[in-house]
């Protein structure tokens, strides 16, 4: 029997996941799903972020229907009021000087932080590194966000797909794949705990380079691709144009929200667009088309889990990244 990693594997509760984009959090409590559970997020009057399980401890009413009163949250059902620590400070039905039960408090995730314009939480004590984008603090890069995508998929299979290098000429024939070489060059994977990096250089036809028309550079140019993975579902691909110059980075953050649905947060970081908003919009539209080509297949898998038993599938030397993904996730799950 094979053991696969589904979206709701209990070990995933010990990892960092994006809950939502920062701009989705307002002073009105909002509900977001993660690992089959609902969370409420809002900003109190000072702008501080607050996240709790979306369930009142009294009669389990969704707190996302409540209201924010300065730095307090009032439940919609019987009006219990919770302070900035999530502790109940008022039960209207008991009058003014009532003793509040000590268990009347909200349940918060073990960890919360904001970065890259996203809110990350770890439901239980996190055992994975905090995810990050390598060029996020480099001011020479311009950032553009793809719209958040919610789709039927497995987070594990989507991570597998992002790290896969052999599908370009087939799945992506309608975008960038048509001119891509079918053969995957030899490459090595460098492991670092629950992360890895894999890089290779190859020649490609740079049809977008104006220097080719001008006769400054040849059509065939060198490109270095570096894949970076952080468990469980954070991915980055950096494409360096070694002859024409410029670096394109694609950040990919996957959130398993339910057993069969995933939220995809993707952003582009580029230092070759001269600050042009239009060129970034074009690049985002192109990237959306690329992701949709992948989702055409990924949303149709019958079994939405990533096999962790290495012997249950066939692997080739072109699959080193996706084998490493299975190894890391398998070790992670076993360690919990």
Residues of this chain that bind ligand FES (CB under 6 A): 56, 58-59, 61, 75, 77-78, 80
Q: Among 40, 44, 48, which Cα is nearest to 19's?
A: 40
Alpha helix stretches (DSSP H) within 125-239: 155-163, 168-171, 210-213
Residue 232: asked if its preceding bond is cis (omega within 30°), the reply is: yes
HSE of 155 in the Cβ direction (CA atoms, 13 Å)? 29
* Cα-based distances in Å from 284 to 62, 281, 298: 35, 5, 20
Smallest distance from ligand FES to CB 57, Å: 8
Helices 277-298 and 155-163 cross at an angle (nearest 10°) of 120
Q: Which one of Fe ion, ligand FES, none interacts with residue 294, CB within 5 to 8 A by kind?
A: Fe ion
Smallest distance from Fe ion to CB 332, Å: 24
78 vs 191, beta carbon nearer ligand FES: 78
Smallest distance from Fe ion to CB 164, Å: 7
Q: Which one of Fe ion, ligand FES, none interacts with residue 61, CB within 5 to 8 A by kind?
A: ligand FES
Alpha-carbon gap, residue 285 to 267, rounded angstroms: 12
Number of residues that bind Fe ion (CB under 5 A): 1
Q: Which one of Fe ion, ligand FES, none interacts with residue 78, CB within 5 to 8 A by kind?
A: ligand FES
Q: Which one of ligand FES, Fe ion, none interacts with residue 269, CB within 5 to 8 A by kind?
A: none
40 vs 212, beta carbon nearer ligand FES: 40
294 vs 319, beta carbon nearer Fe ion: 294
Smallest distance from Fe ion to CB 325, Å: 15
76 vs 199, beta carbon nearer ligand FES: 76
Alpha-carbon 284 to chain mean position: 17
Q: Which one of ligand FES, Fe ion, none interacts with residue 238, CB within 5 to 8 A by kind?
A: none
Residues numbered 281-320 forming contacts with Fe ion, rule: CB under 5 A: 294
DSSP character at residue 296: H
4 vs 79, beta carbon nearer ligand FES: 79
Phi-psi region of 87 (alpha: psi -120 to 50; beta: other; left: phi over 0): beta
Alpha-carbon gap, residue 81 to 88, rounded angstroms: 6
Smallest distance from Fe ion to CB 133, Å: 19
252 vs 332, beta carbon nearer Fe ion: 252
Which residue in this structure is represented by tokens 């889990």? Answer: 305
Alpha-carbon gap, residue 59 to 223, rounded angstroms: 58
11 vs 61, beta carbon nearer ligand FES: 61
Give the N- to C-terminal CA distance of the chain in Å, as an integer: 21
Q: In 3-state terms, what secondary structure has residue 160? A: helix
Alpha-carbon gap, residue 284 to 242, rounded angstroms: 22
77 vs 204, beta carbon nearer ligand FES: 77
x-or-dash pattern for Fe ion, window 242-281, by CB under 5 A?
A: ----------------------------------------
Smallest distance from Fe ion to CB 226, Å: 16
Smallest distance from Fe ion to CB 114, Å: 29
Smallest distance from Fe ion to CB 214, Å: 32
Q: Which one of ligand FES, Fe ion, none interacts with residue 77, CB within 5 to 8 A by kind?
A: ligand FES
* Cα-based distances in Å from 250 to 28, 56, 199, 226: 32, 39, 15, 11
Q: Catalog residues that contact Fe ion under the rule CB under 5 A.
A: 294
């Amino acid at each position: 029997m094979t053991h696969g990693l589904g979206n709701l594997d209990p070990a995933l509760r010990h990892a960092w996941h994006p809950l939502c984009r920062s701009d989705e959090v307002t002073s009105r409590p909002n509900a977001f799903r993660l690992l089959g559970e609902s969370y409420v997020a809002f900003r109190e009057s000072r702008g501080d972020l607050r996240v709790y399980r979306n369930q009142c401890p009294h009669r389990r009413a969704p707190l996302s229907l409540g209201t924010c009163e300065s730095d307090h949250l009032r439940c919609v059902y019987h009006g219990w009021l919770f302070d900035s620590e999530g502790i109940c400070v008022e039960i209207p039905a008991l009058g003014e000087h009532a003793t509040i039960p000590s268990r009347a408090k909200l349940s918060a995730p073990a960890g919360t932080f904001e970065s890259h314009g996203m809110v990350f939480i770890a439901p239980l004590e996190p055992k994975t590194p905090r995810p990050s984008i390598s060029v996020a603090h480099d001011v020479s890069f311009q950032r553009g966000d793809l719209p958040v995508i919610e789709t039927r998929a497995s987070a594990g299979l989507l991570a597998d797909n992002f790290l896969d290098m052999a599908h370009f000429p087939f799945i992506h024939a309608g975008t960038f794949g048509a001119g891509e070489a079918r053969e995957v060059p030899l490459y090595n994977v460098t492991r670092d705990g629950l992360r890895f990096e894999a890089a290779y250089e190859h020649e490609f036809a740079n049809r977008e380079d104006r220097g080719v028309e001008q006769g400054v550079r040849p059509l065939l140019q060198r490109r270095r691709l570096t894949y970076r993975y952080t468990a469980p579902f954070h991915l980055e691909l950096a494409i360096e144009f070694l002859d024409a110059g410029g670096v394109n980075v694609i950040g990919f953050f996957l959130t398993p929200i339910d057993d069969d649905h995933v939220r995809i947060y993707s952003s582009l970081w580029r230092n070759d667009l001269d600050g042009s908003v239009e060129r970034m919009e074009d690049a985002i539209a192109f990237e959306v088309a690329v992701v949709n080509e992948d989702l055409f297949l990924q949303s149709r898998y019958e079994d939405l889990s990533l096999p962790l038993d290495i012997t249950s599938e066939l692997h080739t030397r072109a699959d080193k990244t996706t084998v490493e993904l299975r190894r890391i996730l398998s070790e992670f799950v076993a360690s919990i």
